[in-house]
């Protein structure tokens, strides 16, 4: 049976040792190598040829996010599974933007960790319970805002749509056969209903709501 070759990246030697001991008895996994910084990880991957990189985020020098970004860019077949203490939106979404295939908090039980490594190796994406909540919150949060979208009149919806393609008031007026002043007034009442102060926010809200 082909074992999954894992590269450990973490600046804390004790943690690497613990992780290594934890994963050693697992049949389907083998620790191919360890790195203590992002730079070192990037230097190693070419020779080590890991299937999965277990990446910490908080490291001196090049952080895990930057390392992940370069790693997935230069070695698209290698999957990155983030294993971090950081349980906040910024860290999670930065890792996702960088191309990580999974995100598990340090402190996860062994079974969860092994399952995550196997899943990521198989091309799946997997996120620990706390992270999963953030992820679904991200998407259902969008849906929730959509539900809360206030009711606009036909004219207002029409104008908001044109506004969302970044047309100016005079252009909108010309296209709808209205006076520029009328458009400005409609725009103003749209802002009031959306509880926003200017075009910028209005368009942001409209986009978020899949308008």
Partner DNA sequence: GCAAAGCCCGGGACAATGTCCCGGTTGTCC
Partner DNA sequence: GGACAACCGGGACATTGTCCCGGGCTTTGC
62, interface contact from its own copies, DNA, none, CB < 5-8 Å by kind = none
163 contacts 170 by C-beta, under 8 angstroms: no
Helical packing angle, 89-98 and 64-74, nearest 10°: 20
Contacts 24+ apart (CB under 8 A), 134-143: 134/89, 134/92, 135/92, 138/89, 138/93, 142/208, 142/210
Measured CA to CA, the distance from residue 81 to residue 65 in angstroms comes to 11
- Among 40, 86, 156, 205, contact with DNA (rule: CB under 7 A): 156
CB of 168 to DNA, least distance (A): 3
SS3 25: coil
Task: Rule CB under 8 A: say whether 69 interacts with its own copies.
Answer: yes
Contact (Cβ atoms closer than 8 angstroms) between residue 186 and residue 160: no
Strands 29-35 and 79-84: unpaired
Give the whole-angstrom CA distance, residue 157 versus residue 168.
16
Binding status of residue 3 toward its own copies by CB under 8 A: no
CB-nearer residue toward DNA: 70 or 184: 184
- Least CB distance to its own copies at residue 141 (A): 9
Q: Shortest gap between Cβ of 37 and its own copies (angstroms)?
A: 22
Select from DNA, its own copies, none the partner in contact with residue 105, using the beta carbon and a kind-dependent cut-off of 5 to 8 Å.
Answer: none
Does the protein bind DNA through residue 207 (CB under 7 A)?
no
164 binds DNA (CB under 7 A): no
Q: Is the dihedral of CA 101, 106, 111, 114 positive or negative?
A: positive
194 binds DNA (CB under 7 A): no
Kindly list the residues in this chain that would bind its own copies in the complex (CB under 8 A).
69, 72, 93-94, 96-101, 112, 115-116, 118-119, 122-129, 131-133, 135-136, 139-140, 142-143, 146, 166, 168, 196-204, 207, 210
Kindly list the residues in this chain that would bind DNA in the complex (CB under 7 A).
153-156, 168-170, 176, 178-182, 184-188, 191-192, 197-199
């Amino acid at each position: 049976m082909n074992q999954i070759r894992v590269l450990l990246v973490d600046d804390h030697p004790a943690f690497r040792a613990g992780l290594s001991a934890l994963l050693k008895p697992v049949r389907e996994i083998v620790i191919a190598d360890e790195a203590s910084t992002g730079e070192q990880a990037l230097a190693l991957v070419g020779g080590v040829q890991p299937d999965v990189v277990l990446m910490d985020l908080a490291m001196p020098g090049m952080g895990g996010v930057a390392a992940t970004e370069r790693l997935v860019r230069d070695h698209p077949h290698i999957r990155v599974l983030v294993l971090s203490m950081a349980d906040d939106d910024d860290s999670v979404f930065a890792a996702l933007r960088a191309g990580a295939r999974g995100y598990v908090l340090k402190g996860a039980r062994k079974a969860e960790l092994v399952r995550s490594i196997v899943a990521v190796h198989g091309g799946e994406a997997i996120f620990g319970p706390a992270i999963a909540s953030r992820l679904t919150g991200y998407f259902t949060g969008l849906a929730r805002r959509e539900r809360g979208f206030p009711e606009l009149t036909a004219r207002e919806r029409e104008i908001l749509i044109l506004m969302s393609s970044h047309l100016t008031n005079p252009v909108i007026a010309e296209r709808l056969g209205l006076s520029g002043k009328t458009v400005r007034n409609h725009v103003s009442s749209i802002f009031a209903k959306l509880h926003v102060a200017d075009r910028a926010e209005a368009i942001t809200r409209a986009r978020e709501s899949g308008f």
